[in-house]
Amino acid sequence: MIRTLVFALLLLLVPGTANAAWQEATTKHFVIYSDDTPARISKFAVSLERYDRAMRIFRGVPDDPVPPVDRVTIYVLSSSSSITSLGYEGAAGFYLARAGEPVAFTIKYGDRPGGSRERVKEEYELSPAVVLRHEYAHHFMFGYMLNMFRRGALPTWLTEGFAEFHATAIEGEDGSITFGQMPGYRAGNFLFGGAGCNAQKILTSNDLRKLTACYYSDLYAYGWLIVDYFTFTPDGPKRMGDYLRAINEGKLPSEAAKGLGDLDELDKKLERHLTGRKLPAFVVPAEQLKIDPPQIRALTPAQAAMIGVKMRAKAGVEEKEAPALYERAARAAAPYPDDPYAQTVLAEAAFDAKRYDEAEAAGKRAFAADPKATEAMLYIGQARMARAASAKSTDPAAWKEARGWFVKANHNDPDDPRPLMLYYRSFLVAGQAPSANALAGLYQAFEFAPYDRRNVFLAAYAFLTERKLPEARAALATAAYNPDWPKLRERAGKFMDLIEAGRIEEAEAALLPWARDPDYEDPADKKKGE
């Protein structure tokens, strides 16, 4: 009762009423929502695009065309209390890597999690701007490095160190952007971190859970140091590439690290690198960072009425909290029965609350208003699939009807991986063998979005059914090395152990519930209270 009341009160803190002057800014890589002036939103959007451009120039990553589903949606909130209302207490922002809907939440520039608006040099604190750059660096990394290494293992220290390295980018008064600044907020880890923690232990650890010499935050600090060193050392990128390639070929980190040379000597070099008079840096000149102005528009009344519900839904809603959000969504959407945006948001809230009839009805209203509303199609199909599963239906027509909506969505937006994921999953939920088309579609979806946790176990299961063991292991490694998925990381490690032991059928059977339901909870974990 208390938890429900607290959630209801927090809902009131989420911005997004019809009276708020919400704006939308669209650029090549971002869609930004903020209740701020167009001038400030434009400046914010251009700054993010310049950051993306600078990273691409620095890392030699091409700036290919970006499908709309791959743009990162960023919600700029007014204060840390708004972030708290989304379930992330004390955070200055967060990012969710999702196929077809990558999303980030941040606080307006100048606001700090503690509530103060005092200006502090960013290198000394985890400001909202630094956090957002850190999180976008994850998205940037997932977009090119996972595919570079066959969607496989990226160690925790690397993903966090890479993000820390780029998060401290400095915009100069001349318009340049400089990489190479030490994250001053991590200095304490080198002075007061885990006793005996060093880069060698991190590089050679086969199981970070057993790395008791280091605090978890040490992985960020030493990860930054390792990335910084190997970035600016002449043969560093090649040596680090060989290390990662060895891990993805199945070698343990302790074996892969041997290719880095004398590790005791490496620790000494890293120490000298850290304590030297001046760290190396890379400057991207302003003339290489010219960005087209963003397209800015005010939200429609229907969008402004639903933006708060949309943010809450995209941030993730616990099962017990979903009914209250649905009731709020239904009230907000009531004046807009023919608006595709309002009805699609309502469909999502209804689906999360397991109100499948209402989800389908709202989705169909959205689809009637806009026959190209991909998300509406997905919620209609998911609602039908959920009802068929609840009824334990064996009627081929019922499952064909549900899948038909995923086919429509795929035809409408071939770049969106979600219809392909759902189409394949529908066969598992129905207890049927996936078709060849479903299997091919899933593999394509995994190529599109190897970073989505909902995709990892699904793809690993599919690879196992075809006895593509290296591919299955590589898919599982994506989860096993992900710092933000603690439960999935442990589970993925167990599945990998089964594969390594040759217990393939056992691994396939163990993976099936997770492939069928991305939110599956193991009964054994429930008993342990996890």
Q: Can you tell me the distance from the alpha carbon of 180 to that of 168, in angstroms, rounded to the nearest whole number?
A: 7
CA angle 437, 441, 447 (to 5 degrees): 150
Distance CA 370, CA 4 (A): 35
Report yes or no: 31 and 44 within 8 Å, Cβ to Cβ.
Answer: no
Whole-number Å distance between alpha carbons of 289 and 50? 6
Enumerate the domain spans of the chain: 19-288, 315-528
If we measure between CA atoms, which residue out of 18, 15, 14 comes closest to residue 301? 18
Report the distance separating Cα 150 and Cα 526, nearest Å: 34
For strands 93-96 and 30-34, give the pairing: unpaired
**What pLDDT is stored for residue 13 in this prediction?**
42
19-288 and 315-528 share one fold: no
CA dist 407 → 385, 416, 421 (Å): 14, 12, 11
Q: What is the pLDDT of residue 137?
A: 96
458 CB-near residues (< 8 Å, 6+ apart): 421, 424, 425, 442, 446, 515, 518
Kindly report the backbone phi and psi dihedral angles of residue 167, in degrees, each rounded to the nearest multiple of 5, phi listed first: -65, -25
Which DSSP symbol is given to 293?
Answer: P
CA angle 213, 183, 72 (to 5 degrees): 105
Domain spanning 315-528: which CATH class is it, in words?
mainly alpha
Can you tell me the distance from the alpha carbon of 449 to that of 453, in angstroms, rounded to the nearest whole number? 9
What is the per-residue pLDDT for 18? Answer: 40
Closest CA to 14 of 302, 297, 299, 315: 315
Instruction: Report the Cα–Cα distance between both ends of the chain, in Å, rounded.
Output: 22
What is residue 153's predicted lDDT score, i.e. its pLDDT?
Answer: 66
Please give the Cα distance from 126 to 184 (Å, whole number): 9
Coil, strand, or helix at residue 126? coil
Which residue type occupies 415?
Answer: D
CATH for 19-288, options being 3.40.1110, 3.30.720, 1.10.390, 3.30.310? 1.10.390
Phi, psi of 35 (to 5 degrees): -95, 65
Q: Is 454 exposed, middle or buried (0-12, 13-18, 19+ CB in 10 A)?
A: buried
What six digits make up the tokens of 375? 């998300």
Each residue's pLDDT, cut to its tens digit, for the chain (530 residues) gives 333 333 333 443 444 444 448 999 999 999 999 999 999 999 999 999 999 999 999 999 999 999 999 999 999 998 888 888 888 887 889 999 898 999 999 998 654 444 433 444 445 566 899 999 999 999 998 877 655 655 556 788 998 999 999 999 999 999 999 999 999 999 888 887 767 889 999 999 877 667 778 888 899 999 999 999 999 999 999 999 999 888 877 788 889 999 999 999 999 999 999 998 889 999 999 999 999 999 999 999 999 999 999 999 999 999 999 999 999 999 999 999 999 999 999 999 999 999 999 999 999 999 999 999 999 999 999 999 999 999 999 999 999 999 999 999 999 999 999 999 999 999 999 999 999 999 999 999 988 888 788 888 999 999 999 999 988 988 888 787 776 677 788 888 899 899 989 999 999 999 999 999 988 887 766 555 45
Tokens of 499: 């594969």
With contact defined as beta carbons under 8 Å apart, do 143 and 448 qualify?
Answer: no
Is the four-CA dihedral 343, 347, 349, 354 of positive or negative sign? positive
What is the predicted pLDDT for the residue at 483? 64
